[in-house]
């Protein structure tokens, strides 16, 4: 498998893969752009990055680790992406983060 990745694709395979993903990316880009236009997502939203953030973990489990994808995973991925995972301020000892409904300690909620 590593040899296959290192050697690259033949031109026909590469072209077929590029066409396949270009059409799917375009559909996803349109959905994300409409959400930006409706004010549901920030104007600075990068549609390609959003798509990669959603597809990457699924691809990782399905292809690389061969783990089962539980039915709740897509929803959790979307929620994590929309809520954000970065801390707005560093965590302190008095922020224990015990309440899972609060999100990460110090996190700033993103309106939906």
User: What residue spans define the domains of the chain?
Assistant: 2-86
> What is 2-86's CATH number?
1.10.357.10
Length of the chain in residues, anyone? 112
The 10s digit of each residue's pLDDT in 1-49 is 555 555 567 899 999 999 998 999 999 999 999 999 998 888 889 999 9
C-beta atoms surrounding 61 within 10 Å? 15
Asked if the model's pLDDT at residue 75 lies above 60, the reply is: yes
The reply to whether the predicted model has a pTM over 0.75 is no
Core vs surface per residue 68-87: b (16+ CB within 10 A) or e: eeeeeeeeebeeeeeeeeee
Tokens, residue 66: 């061969």
User: In a 3-state reduction of DSSP, which class is residue 50?
Assistant: helix
Is 49 buried (19+), middle (13-18) or exposed (0-12) by CB count in 10 A? exposed
């Amino acid at each position: 498998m590593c040899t296959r990745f290192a050697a690259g694709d033949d031109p026909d395979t590469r072209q077929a893969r590029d066409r396949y993903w270009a059409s799917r990316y375009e559909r996803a880009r349109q959905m994300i752009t409409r959400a930006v236009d409706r004010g549901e997502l920030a104007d600075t939203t990068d549609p390609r990055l959003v798509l990669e953030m959603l597809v990457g973990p699924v691809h990782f489990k399905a292809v690389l680790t061969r783990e089962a994808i539980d039915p709740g995973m897509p929803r959790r991925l979307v929620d994590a992406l929309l809520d954000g995972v970065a801390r707005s301020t560093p965590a302190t000892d008095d922020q224990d983060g015990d309440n899972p409904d609060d999100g990460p300690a110090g996190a700033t909620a993103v309106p939906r």
